């Protein structure tokens, strides 16, 4: 059975092109052209990925993402015509996994979809009981939960993936490009702001409770390092 993807996009030309490329790559694709029918479809079926336009008739993409995140952890790829940092951060705040800005190259679009679907399948099939503790931080990979002491820290999928990777590779410096490839599965010039936003959000969440030290260091001109 092929992986199933939902596209919520009000531009019918773009939606049909996205569907055509994804179908050619072996996916089953459903398409909705407004936010209200999109969220109904998302709750009605099981998908491996949702491709979500930000500006939609009815509910907008952020509203849809916020509601979905209350019950589902499906990867969400935002498609937006905007490049402002506030829009990017808002997407991550709502629980989005990634974004791509119009106009985009469909080869890159398909590569991102493949990456997120592949990671989602691996995560949902994970059955090993992995757990690590570093200082006051405890990470449980199977349940995908993070704790500082006895306090649970709420994290998005990508935030947890990034923190887990850094924590399981302590004292090693990674460039933003390396982290982009390791966590998001692709490397593309101009997308490293995604890494910066996620690192900053992880720091904010940890620093609120972890008083012993700052765990993620910035190595200026190079990248980031997790201090064990």
Cα 124 to chain centroid, rounded: 15
CA 63 to chain centre: 16
- Residue-level pLDDT at 39: 92
Give the Cα separation of 71 and 66 in Å (integer): 10
Intervals of CATH 3.40.50.2300 along the chain: 4-124
DSSP state of 133: E
Specify the pLDDT at position 184.
Answer: 80
Residue ranges of the chain assigned to CATH 1.10.10.10: 131-226
In 10 A of CB 77, how many CB atoms?
A: 22
Task: At 213, list the tokens.
Answer: 């030290």
Answering whether pTM is above 0.85, one says: no
pLDDT of residue 212: 65
What are the pLDDT tens digits along the chain (228 aa)? 678 999 999 999 999 999 999 999 999 999 999 999 999 999 888 899 999 998 899 899 999 998 888 878 889 999 887 666 566 777 787 788 888 888 888 898 999 899 889 888 776 654 444 788 888 899 998 888 999 988 999 998 889 999 999 998 888 899 998 898 888 876 555 578 889 999 999 999 988 887 667 889 999 888 999 987
Indicate the helix (H) or strand (E) that contains 80. Answer: strand 76-80
Burial 35-52 (b: 16+ CB within 10 A, else e): bebbbebbeeeebbbbbb
Pick the CATH number of 4-124 from 3.30.2080.10, 3.50.50.100, 3.40.50.2300, 3.30.70.360: 3.40.50.2300
Confidence (pLDDT) at 125: 59
pLDDT value, residue 141: 85
Query: CATH classification of 131-226, choosing from 1.10.3210.10, 3.50.50.60, 1.10.10.10, 2.40.50.100?
Result: 1.10.10.10
């Amino acid at each position: 059975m092929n992986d199933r993807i939902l596209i919520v996009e009000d531009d019918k030309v773009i939606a049909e092109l996205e569907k055509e490329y994804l179908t050619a790559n072996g996916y089953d694709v459903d398409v909705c052209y407004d936010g209200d029918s999109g969220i109904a479809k998302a709750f009605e079926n099981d998908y491996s990925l949702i491709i979500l336009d930000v500006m939609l008739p009815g509910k907008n993409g952020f509203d849809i993402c916020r509601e979905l995140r209350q019950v589902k952890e499906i990867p969400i790829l935002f498609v937006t015509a905007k490049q402002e940092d506030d829009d990017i951060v808002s997407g991550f705040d709502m629980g989005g996994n990634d974004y791509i800005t119009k106009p985009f190259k469909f080869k890159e679009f398909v590569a991102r979809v493949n990456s997120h679907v592949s990671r989602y399948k691996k995560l949902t099939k994970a059955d090993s009981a992995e757990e690590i503790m570093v200082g006051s931080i405890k990470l449980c990979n199977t349940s995908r939960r993070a704790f500082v002491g006895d306090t649970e820290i709420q994290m998005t999928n990508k935030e947890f993936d990034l923190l887990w990777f850094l924590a399981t590779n302590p004292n090693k410096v990674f460039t933003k490009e390396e982290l982009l490839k390791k966590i998001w599965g692709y490397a593309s010039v101009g997308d490293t702001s995604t890494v910066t936003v996620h690192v900053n959000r992880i720091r904010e969440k940890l620093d609120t409770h972890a008083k012993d030290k700052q765990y993620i260091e910035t190595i200026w001109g190079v990248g980031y390092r997790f201090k064990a």
